[in-house]
Amino acid sequence: MHIKDWSIRITQREKPLRVHLIGVAGSGMSGLALLLLEMGHQVSGSDRVTSAETERLQGLGLRFSSPHTAEAVREADLVVFSSAIRPENPAFAEALARNIPLLRRAECLAAILNTKKGVVVSGTHGKTTTSSMTAHILREAGMRPSHYVGAEIPILGSNAHWEEAGEYMVAEGDESDGTLVLYEPVCSLVLNVEAEHLDHYRDIDHICEVFATLLDQTRGRIVYCKECPVATRLQSGRDHAVSYGWQDADYVAEDLRELRGSSAFRVMRGGELLGDIELGIPGRHNVLNALAAIAVADGVGANFALIARALSTFAGAKRRFETRYLSANYRIVDDYGHHPTELAATLQTARSLKPVRVVVLFQPHRYSRTQALADDFGRSLQAADEVFITDVYAASEKPIEGVSGVTLVEAMKRHGDIKVTSVPDLSIAHHQVGNALQPGDLLITLGAGNVHEAGTRIADDLKILEEMLRLVPEGDIEGKLYEPMRRHTTMLVGGPAQFWLEPHTFEAFAACVGYCRERGIAVRVVGRGSNLLVRDGGIRGAVIHPTGGVFSAVRVEGDTVIAGVGARLKKVASAAQSAGIGGFEWMEGIPGNVGGALRMNAGAMGVEMFDQVVSLTFLDEDGEIRTRQRDEITAEYRNVGELRRNFALEVVLSGTPDSKENIQRRWDESRAKRQKTQPIAASAGCMFKNRELIPAGKLVDEMGLKGCRVGHAEVSAIHGNFIVNTGGAKTADVLALVEQIRDKARAERGIEMEMEVKVIGEDDYTF
């Protein structure tokens, strides 16, 4: 049956069709489902997955099934399928076997469009924005248009709508597979024509053939962009063609003003002023899109005042320079752009908002496009300040050997010196991108795939982080997202902390803890990260690193030293020596901070931390700051139970008066012993607790395990109780080596070795 015959069948309301859509969860197919439902047909659909869109459509009458089955199509009068459907699909195969009529998505859309005065918006870029602008203008002008566009349009309410009483239907025409030739509209709009979708077309001439056929079949006005030489060439000799552009066109935009988040300009038609426009979205490319929509609306008789009012309220389409997060310090934007021209336009729009920096997370779309346009991408992305590139979103393509996201990283380096980083795994790309953000940045997630998910994660966490930073006066706390814990552990390993917070006052510390407890966000307090291993999956929740201000302060009063928990042990020992107070020499070679030493009851040279504690100030479980004397606190070997529930803030430590010379002598002896018996490579300190009968290091030595390796983690050849990072080790390497040691001790000596180093965090990335 010809498309014209289906146009007749589809409009016979007394004989509704049973229509089944294969691949109904896709944006294009879901729009068709909505049109058919609103036309009164009985619509069913199937897909591999359930989505929010299929759930919404079920509420409107769609009978949905997942996965695809042969049974789903058996009662259908017509089966419509998307371009992604393969012949082996069971629903498709059953329709063929039963001789049920099959239409491609575009054929079904053409059958519907051809029942109205169709307005087809075509071009390589900008179709969704321009078609939704046009539909919105005609609606505001009282023309009650139907529409079908390629994304969710908040101001239109949905990506498709059937209006029985209206004459016009605005539709986005997809050029990717040549189906533009199916339409016979009363108006065609050609935004631009470039070499694109070369997996389907031979070359630009082949693409032009398809556009030319569409224009040959257009029954009325043709609107084209004068700024595009190919589109201009295609209109040559056509009587009903009108142009738009910056100059020497039928419709011209003058006096362009780029405002923060919007644009203003004057519209000239044939050299005469039509009026002023304030467009509700930014960007020079969107001014051109608006001119195109104006030319269409003006051609069908829409009042210019109503056109201007409509454009002032137009807020854009989903994933078209869509702001996902906005604060005084950050803006996160998502955009569907996946072609070099689109990227250039999007980055120009971003610059018009005058951020301090433009940061891009780009997900290339299709291997063939990445390979063919690598140099163009490399040039376009130079307009950013920092770029992260994921691996390729394949869509339906098979990989091409040697083509990946790295292809574009290399292309960028050939064309400039903008900082660019490969982040192949999109599921964790947000960790590097989010950690790189600085106040004043505008982050754009770019691409036709699922890159927007990374922006959503960053936006969700950034909102929480900024809320915490606003709890206290500016300067009392600093924070970052996804801070790598390898920067904050002496072993130099560990995944990211979801929220990294550095309070400088007791009040800021208490405010962070209170915020997190009220919302069920886990809290960890970390000092310099000695005696600590963070798993490679990182730490979900907030990691508080008290530093600066009161936390780094050390002062001497009489024979005592008062230190904040962020102070380094070496700093405490130096302050004591300068004041002629002995007893602190054991701290000199320990790399940790006071807070960690208190939590672990750290020690050396026969001295433990709590041997010298006079009093301790801490934040309790109720959020109160309290001080306790030493005899009120129970401290055990490498464990202080009280500090599992409470957070130390400041401590008073006692010493004994002594000469600086004696202190220096003991200090030198301690340092010499450490240098002789302990490795200088990155480690977490002693890995295992010492046994009563045999020290852990001696046990490891006797079992012949010195020098054993897993990955880049190695048992030190100097001291058997140290595992060192030889460079680039993962926490998983360290823990695998720990288990080898424990297994051998258990099997050969019957000894259970207990870890002294604390292990925290997630094995896999969960945030």
Q: How far apart are CA 551 and CA 623, in angstroms?
A: 18
Q: H helices within 475-617, ranges in order?
A: 506-519, 549-552, 569-578, 594-600
Q: What is the β-pairing status of strands 682-683 and 709-710?
A: unpaired
Instruction: Answer whether 391's CB lies under 8 Å from 405's CB.
Output: yes
Q: Which helix (H) or strand (E) holds 428?
A: helix 426-436
3-state SS string for 84-96: CCCCCCHHHHHHH
Instruction: Answer whether 111's CB lies under 8 Å from 10's CB.
Output: yes
* SS3 call for 219: coil
* SS3 call for 514: helix
Q: What is the pLDDT of residue 198?
A: 67
Q: Which two tokens stand for residue 356?
A: 């301090």
Instruction: Answer whether 93's CB lies under 8 Å from 85's CB.
Output: no
Q: How far apart are CA 209 and CA 217, in angstroms?
A: 13
Query: What's the CATH number for 116-313?
Result: 3.40.1190.10
What residues have CB less than 8 Å from 712, skipping those under 6 apart? Answer: 725, 726, 727, 728, 729, 730, 733
Q: How many CB atoms lie within 10 A of CB 121?
A: 31
* SS3 call for 576: helix
For the chain, helix, strand, coil in percent to 5 are 35, 25, 40
Q: How far apart are CA 267 and CA 713, in angstroms?
A: 68
Top-level CATH class of 3-105? alpha beta
Q: What is the β-pairing status of strands 42-46 and 222-225?
A: unpaired
Instruction: Answer whether 193's CB lies under 8 Å from 216's CB.
Output: no
Instruction: Answer whether 118's CB lies under 8 Å from 185's CB.
Output: yes
Top-level CATH class of 322-461? alpha beta
What residues have CB less than 8 Å from 584, skipping those under 6 apart? Answer: 561, 572, 573, 576, 577, 612, 653, 655
Half-sphere exposure of 556 (CA within 13 A, CB side): 18
Place of tokens 């966000």: 521
| Ordered mean pLDDT values, 10 residues apiece, the chain (767 residues) | 75 84 87 91 89 86 91 91 85 91 89 91 89 94 92 83 93 83 92 78 84 91 93 88 94 89 90 91 89 95 94 82 91 90 88 92 93 93 96 89 95 95 95 96 94 95 96 93 95 96 94 92 89 94 94 93 92 91 84 86 83 91 87 85 86 91 82 74 90 89 94 93 94 96 94 92 89
* φ, ψ (nearest 5 deg) of residue 488: -130, 20
- In 347-389, which ranges are E strands? 357-362, 386-389
Active-site residues, by number, are 127-128, 172
Q: How far apart are CA 299 and CA 230, in angstroms?
A: 23
Top-level CATH class of 549-668? alpha beta
Calculate the alpha carbon distances from 393 to 366, 443, 446, 485 in Å.
Answer: 6, 20, 12, 30
Instruction: Answer whether 120's CB lies under 8 Å from 188's CB.
Output: yes
Q: What is the pLDDT of residue 264?
A: 92
Q: What is the pLDDT of residue 560?
A: 94
What residues have CB less than 8 Å from 417, skipping those under 6 apart? Answer: none
Q: How many CB atoms lie within 10 A of CB 693?
A: 8
Q: Which two tokens stand for residue 758?
A: 């604390």
Q: What angle (nearest 5°) sits at the alpha carbon of residue 526, between those of residues 521 and 529?
A: 140
Number of H helices, E strands in the chain: 24, 40
How is the chain split into domains, by residue range?
3-105, 116-313, 322-461, 549-668, 681-760
Q: How far apart are CA 711 and CA 694, in angstroms?
A: 28
Q: How far apart are CA 752 and CA 427, in angstroms?
A: 38
Query: What's the CATH number for 681-760?
Result: 3.90.78.10
Q: How far apart are CA 761 and CA 98, in angstroms?
A: 57
